Amino acid sequence: MSDSKKTGQNADEQKIMIGLEIHASLGTKTKLFCACTTEEAEPNSATCEVCLGHPGSKPVLNKTAVEFATKIALALNCKTNESFFFSRKTYFYPDMSKNFQITQYEIPLAEQGFVELPLGKKVRIRRVHMEEDPAALIHPNGMGKSNYVLIDYNRSGLPLVEIVTEPDIESPKEARDFLDKMENVLKYLGVLKGENPLKVDCNISLEGGARVEIKNVSGFAAVEKALNFEIIRQKQEIRMGKKVEQHTRAYDAETGLTVALRKKETEEDYGYIFEPDLVKIALSEKEISEIQKTMPELPDSKAKRFQQKYSLAEYDAKVLCADFELGKLFEKMVELGAEPKTSSKLLTRELLAVLNHDSLELSEIKVFAKDFAELVGLTVDGKVSDKNVKNSMINYISGNKESPKQFLEKNNLLISSSINADEIVEKIISSNQKAADDYKKGNEKALNFLAGLVMRETKGTLDPKKAQELLKSKLKKADK
Ligand SMILES: [Zn+2]
């Protein structure tokens, strides 16, 4: 019997089980339990006795935070609990001056939801709960590089929503798909704070092995990399006949490796107790339905509407709505009079190709619906070739201030009229009689040669297919 058999694990056949815990920062104006601002401020200036944990101070629950958290729960198809309460999670660390964090444990805000991935698989959501953020620990010159640490209590008490999935995710790629989809849903809700509101902890195990947690990975690409590394590492352990123990690891983005931190505490180790300073909260059906009424349209229903209203293909509608900014841009263009199908094609094919090529997100660049609507107009009127649509797009995305239309005009890339193309084709034929004769004798290559000359003469404004068609029709006529 091999060593790996003895441990009951076989490295290559193990099913991968991944569960995620996502902390989302809510975009409320004030903190979760006090009136301190959530805006950027001088370190340790946005604090009060409540978020510093002074004796005798009493927390008061922020109603807007409950509303935002409920929206998240509803958008993730969760069942909200009629009543819930807060607990104290006891631990000692400099980032928590009270020695406990107010969070939810026994009865969270909501449970039993799901997120549907693009291919239809449902990843179950175990729970959604609210909690306060601890203070920020600042390591001068980077982690472990100084013998002291700075603390900023401005972050202490910021409202967080924690979303916990069941271990339904079966690959690092699927984890990334899940996070993309979930982030998009949360963006539609408009309840998140700032540019990077999500932090992810990953739990991963190979069937039969213990669960390993990778803490605080920032960025979805990093989540995928960390998980990929961890799978290889755990398989290696199993092959060497070792048993994977339950513990917590950190991901080092510079090296792409995970490193062991500590033996994982179980939730019981924290000694949760009921938070006596906050009353039990009841959310009535009426209150929930009021919140439901203020819910914006979410990606899946928006995609269905795009399909029906603008006669788009299902796939295109889904691609448009899979990015909050892209869907918004599309509708603005249509409002400005751009033809829907051409607009959809321009965004889902050309724009996304350019963005992917440069590893850019739409939210990172500045584009105007008006400029794209203009380009769609030119395309519909047949005034610009596909090639130059792409060129004008590349120029626009690269940060040049000129719009695609300005770029096309400046470089004489607009097709003025078809007569012009006719004349050019005739001119090319008459000055390249030998090639024209070769084509008539059946040499297809000669046609490509002539089409190339036409393209050069028209500076690529003519569609190559159109150039070939014009040449063919003229060479036939000349034959008669
Ligand atoms: Zn405060």
pLDDT in tens, 314-364: 999 999 998 888 999 999 999 999 899 999 999 998 898 888 888 888 888
- What spacing in Å lies between the alpha carbon of 152 and ligand 1's midpoint? 13
Residue boundaries of the structural domains of the chain: 3-289, 297-410, 418-479
- What spacing in Å lies between the alpha carbon of 260 and ligand 1's midpoint? 35
Closest CA to 252 of 244, 243, 241, 260: 260
Say whether 281 sits in a helix, a strand or coil: strand
- What spacing in Å lies between the alpha carbon of 156 and ligand 1's midpoint? 8
Q: Which residues contact 129 (CB under 8 A, 6 or more apart)?
A: 69, 103, 104, 105, 108, 109, 110, 161, 162
pLDDT at 131: 95
* Cα distances (Å, whole numbers) of residue 283 to 60, 241, 288: 16, 52, 7
- What spacing in Å lies between the alpha carbon of 71 and ligand 1's midpoint? 24
Backbone torsion region of residue 256, taken as left when φ is above 0, otherwise alpha when ψ lies between -120 and 50, otherwise beta: left
- What spacing in Å lies between the alpha carbon of 429 and ligand 1's midpoint? 80
Per the CB < 8 A criterion, the answer to whether 291 and 321 are in contact is: no
Tokens of 357: 């090529």
> Across 52-61, 250-259, 446-455, 467-476, which has the greatest mean pLDDT?
52-61
Judge whether residue 377 has pLDDT over 50: yes
- What spacing in Å lies between the alpha carbon of 147 and ligand 1's midpoint? 29
- What spacing in Å lies between the alpha carbon of 420 and ligand 1's midpoint? 71
- What spacing in Å lies between the alpha carbon of 153 and ligand 1's midpoint? 9
Residue type present at position 140: P
- What spacing in Å lies between the alpha carbon of 251 and ligand 1's midpoint? 32
Judge whether residue 5 has pLDDT over 50: no
- DSSP notation for 27-45: --SB-SSSS-B-S--STTT
What integer is the mean pLDDT of 101-124? 91
Closest CA to 347 of 383, 364, 323, 366: 323
For the chain, the straight-line distance linking the first and the last C-alpha, in angstroms and rounded, comes to 85
The helix/strand count (H/E) of the chain reads as: 18, 16
Radius of gyration of the chain (CA): 30
b/e code 133-154 from CB counts within 10 Å (16+ = b): bbbeeeeeeeeeeeeeeebbbb
What integer is the mean pLDDT of 98-117? 92
Confidence of residue 272 (pLDDT cuts 50, 70, 90): confident
Percent helix / strand / coil, the chain, rounded to 5: 45, 20, 40
- What spacing in Å lies between the alpha carbon of 412 and ligand 1's midpoint? 61
- What spacing in Å lies between the alpha carbon of 280 and ligand 1's midpoint? 22
Judge whether residue 73 has pLDDT over 90: yes
Give the number of residues written for the chain: 480
Confidence of residue 158 (pLDDT cuts 50, 70, 90): very high
- What spacing in Å lies between the alpha carbon of 124 and ligand 1's midpoint? 35
pLDDT per residue as tens digits for the range 279-308: 888 888 899 999 989 898 999 899 999 999
Tokens of 338: 């751009």
Overall fold of domain 418-479: Arc Repressor Mutant, subunit A (1.10.10)
**In the predicted model, what is the mean pLDDT of the chain?**
87
Angle between helix 324-335 and helix 314-321 axes, rounded to 10 deg: 110
Tokens of 345: 């094609």
Judge whether residue 252 has pLDDT over 60: yes
Ion ligand 1, residues whose Cβ is below 5 A away: 34, 36, 48, 50-51
Judge whether residue 416 has pLDDT over 70: no
Tokens of 359: 């590893």
Judge whether residue 389 has pLDDT over 70: yes
- What spacing in Å lies between the alpha carbon of 44 and ligand 1's midpoint? 10
What integer is the mean pLDDT of 144-169? 92
Using CA atoms, how far apart are residues 200 and 72, in angstroms rounded to an integer? Answer: 16
